[in-house]
């Protein structure tokens, strides 16, 4: 079944730690995205990729970085987590048509 | 700058009633207007979408109405059910597979029995 997977679902981590949020999709989509979702619901694009070896920053400035070494994999890394990074992170992908498919998200808490 | 303005922020509707959520945009280059439904603990899921060449699209109890001249579009949920309780996002983008889908701020719908 074609889908998009995010791990972990929940993560509580101490300040200063390095973390990587995983995102994988089985649909063969070229385009992938990371959104940050505020507690108040708004979705903000922080990174996107058009394909392998392509990464771009989104509208919302983020201290995170991403990589796209394989089509199906788009991990997000925070080198040194801070409480201000506490949020929900949503990964999505899209193919040749208009539709975006979202993962279930990673809820990150930095203490 | 909010590319897509959505209202209301929250909505409470009786079971069987009609839920209406409104969105407005400024960029006339937008040509794809989807609605997403998000349940707690889940990512948004595509519910229904419309292109600007039609004024209305209906899928079951969900209808999008689109007014190109007013640059507004709305979601109508007929015969609202408690299972429809979720957060709804409108969105807009330019072209297929655009690098960004601009989301509204979301509407938290509660349908009470």
At residue A39, the pLDDT reads 72
What is the pLDDT confidence band of residue B99, given thresholds at 50, 70 and 90?
low
Q: Under 8 Å CB-to-CB from A86, ≥6 apart: which residues? A: A108, A109, A110
Do B9 and B108 touch, CB atoms closer than 8 A?
yes
At residue A41, the pLDDT reads 78
At residue B101, the pLDDT reads 84
The more confidently predicted of residues B21 and A1 is B21
Chain B residue nearest residue A59, CA to CA: B100
Q: Is B68 left (phi over 0), alpha (psi -120 to 50) or beta?
A: alpha
**What percentage of chain B has pLDDT greater than the value 90?**
80
Do A107 and B53 touch, CB atoms closer than 8 A?
no
At residue A1, the pLDDT reads 55
Q: Closest Cα partner for B88 from B74, B101, B72, B78?
A: B74
The β-bridge relationship of strands A106-110 and A10-13 is parallel
| pLDDT at position B100 over 90 | no
Query: Distance between CA A104 and CA A101 in Å, rounded?
Result: 10
**Which residues of chain B from 39 to 98 reach within 8 Å of chain A, CB to CB?**
41-46, 49, 87, 89, 93, 96-98
Chain B residue nearest residue A60, CA to CA: B1
Give yes or no for a cis peptide into B8 (omega within 30° of 0): yes
Residues of chain A neighbouring B41 (CB-CB closer than 8 A): 104-105
At residue A38, the pLDDT reads 82
Residues of chain A neighbouring B96 (CB-CB closer than 8 A): 96-98
Ranges of residues in chain A with a pLDDT under 50 are none
Chain pair A-B, CB pairs under 8 angstroms: 60
With 0-12 / 13-18 / 19 or more C-beta atoms within 10 angstroms meaning exposed / middle / buried, residue A83 is exposed
**CB nearest to B103's CB, from A43, A50, A99:** A43
Chain B residue nearest residue A103, CA to CA: B43
At residue A42, the pLDDT reads 81
Helix residue ranges, H only, A18-68: none
- CA distance, residue A20 to nearest chain B CA (Å): 19
At residue B96, the pLDDT reads 61
At residue B97, the pLDDT reads 58
pLDDT digits (tens, 9 = 90+) for B37-58: 999 888 999 999 999 899 999 9
With 0-12 / 13-18 / 19 or more C-beta atoms within 10 angstroms meaning exposed / middle / buried, residue B1 is exposed
- CA distance, residue B106 to nearest chain A CA (Å): 6
Q: Is B61 left (phi over 0), alpha (psi -120 to 50) or beta?
A: alpha
């Amino acid at each position: 079944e074609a889908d998009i997977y995010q791990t972990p679902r929940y993560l509580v981590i101490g300040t200063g730690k390095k973390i990587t949020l995983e995102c994988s999709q089985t649909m063969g989509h070229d385009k992938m995205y990371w959104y940050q979702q505020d507690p108040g619901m708004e979705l903000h694009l922080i990174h996107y990729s058009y394909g392998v070896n392509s990464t771009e920053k989104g509208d919302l400035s983020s201290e995170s970085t991403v990589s796209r070494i394989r089509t199906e994999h788009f991990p997000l890394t925070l080198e040194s987590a801070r409480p201000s990074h506490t949020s929900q992170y949503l990964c999505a992908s899209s193919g040749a048509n208009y539709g975006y498919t979202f993962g279930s998200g990673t809820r990150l808490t930095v203490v | 700058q909010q590319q897509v303005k959505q209202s209301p922020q929250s909505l409470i509707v009786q079971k069987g009633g009609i839920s209406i959520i409104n969105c407005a945009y400024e960029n006339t280059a937008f040509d794809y207007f989807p609605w997403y439904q998000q349940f707690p603990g889940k990512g948004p899921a595509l519910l229904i979408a419309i292109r600007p060449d039609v004024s209305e699209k209906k899928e079951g109890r969900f209808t999008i109405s689109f007014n190109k001249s007013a640059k507004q579009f709305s979601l109508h949920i007929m015969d609202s059910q408690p299972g429809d309780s979720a957060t709804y996002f409108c969105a807009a983008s330019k072209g297929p597979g655009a690098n960004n889908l601009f989301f509204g701020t979301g509407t938290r719908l509660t349908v009470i029995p």
